[in-house]
Amino acid sequence: MKPFKIKAPAKINLALWILGRRPDGYHEILTLFMKLPLFDEVFITEAEELKVFCKGCPSGKDNIVFKAIQLLGDELGRKFNVEVRISKKIPMGGGLGGGSSDAAAVLKALNRIYDLGLSLQDMQNIGAQLGADIPFFLLESPMAVGRGKGEILEPVEIQPTFHVKLFCPQIHISTAWAYSQASLKKSFTPKSIAESKLQGLLNAFRTKDWQNLRNFVENDFEKVLPSEFPEMKRLIEKVKAEKGAIAAGLSGSGACCFSIFKAHSQMVELVTPCIVPGHSDPTF
């Protein structure tokens, strides 16, 4: 096989409502995903055995890409002896979906390289076993509504053209911890209210009602983070006060936040805030 290169985009959750805890222990959510032009680069070459290398993130069997390739092989009853090298540009552990995007990119690449004939649904079924965000990254659509754990998708045919500023502090927030806190504090939004707000958000996008957009950009995790991460409350407040921003909020369970500005084309600006525990204000 010839060396293969593929880009894996980041995402933000323009809104994320937690509807409740399911009997299986997972949480039911309603969210609006949007891909960003911020990419990891994934390189695939033939090898004697499966290898995954990633500078600055787990390599080998601990990497979600390794697990995705193994799972794909198990599903098809074959081995994929490839070497995967990941060049990270998406900040890790910030709610931007970098690992899930890398896994989705490799599933798509192997389907093409080996002419596996897998449908989108086939790949999404495999990806959903590893991460709820993976099915979204397998879509071609730049935006989608996510239901269930986030894996039940409804593509949204809106072409976003925004300047997105990402504020990614050096803070790691465990997604499992964040959901456990949401359950503990019952920080849930009733489904009917969340669905109504989602329609308001989509209508604001479609009609370019920028003045009303910020009223629907919400994330229920913003209610639970301050108890353990008071500095996140200050960061979110400062990001939402960004001059000229038409909307702002937290992505996923954090810690990355975003602000959105009107623009002629989609672009991303990455900012690393300086946060000192105990100090009153983060600096950009």
| Domain membership flag for residue 22 | yes
- One-letter amino acid identity for 110? L
Name the pLDDT band for 284 (thresholds 50, 70, 90): low
Q: Do 143 and 57 share a domain, yes or no?
A: yes
Phi and psi angles of residue 70, each rounded to the nearest 5 degrees, phi first:
-60, -45
Q: Do 151 and 15 share a domain, yes or no?
A: yes
Check which CATH number belongs to the domain holding 73 and give it. Answer: 3.30.230.10
| Domain membership flag for residue 278 | no
| Domain membership flag for residue 276 | no
Q: Do 151 and 186 share a domain, yes or no?
A: no
Closest CA to 235 of 270, 202, 277, 204: 277
Q: Which domain holds residue 256?
A: 162-271
First to last CA, the chain: 45
Q: Do 12 and 152 share a domain, yes or no?
A: yes
pLDDT (0 to 100) of residue 170: 86
Q: Do 86 and 168 share a domain, yes or no?
A: no
pLDDT (0 to 100) of residue 209: 94
Q: From 106, 123, 156, give the residue that closes a domain.
A: 156
Instruction: Output the pTM of the full model.
Output: 0.94
Q: Do 146 and 232 share a domain, yes or no?
A: no
pLDDT (0 to 100) of residue 72: 98
74 is catalytic: no
Check which CATH number belongs to the domain holding 225 and give it. Answer: 3.30.70.890
Catalytic option among 133, 149, 197, 238: 133
Q: Do 14 and 152 share a domain, yes or no?
A: yes
| Domain membership flag for residue 281 | no
| Domain membership flag for residue 85 | yes
Q: Do 90 and 166 share a domain, yes or no?
A: no
pLDDT one-digit tens code per residue, 153-182: 999 988 889 999 999 998 888 899 999 999
Q: Do 102 and 178 share a domain, yes or no?
A: no
Mean of pLDDT over the chain: 93
Give yes or no for residue 276 having a pLDDT over 60. no
Task: Convert 11-59 into a string of H (helix), E (strand) and C (coil).
Answer: EEEEEEEEEEECCCCCEEEEEEEEEEEEEEEEEEEECCCCEEEECCCCC
Domain count for the chain: 2
11 is catalytic: yes
| Domain membership flag for residue 257 | yes
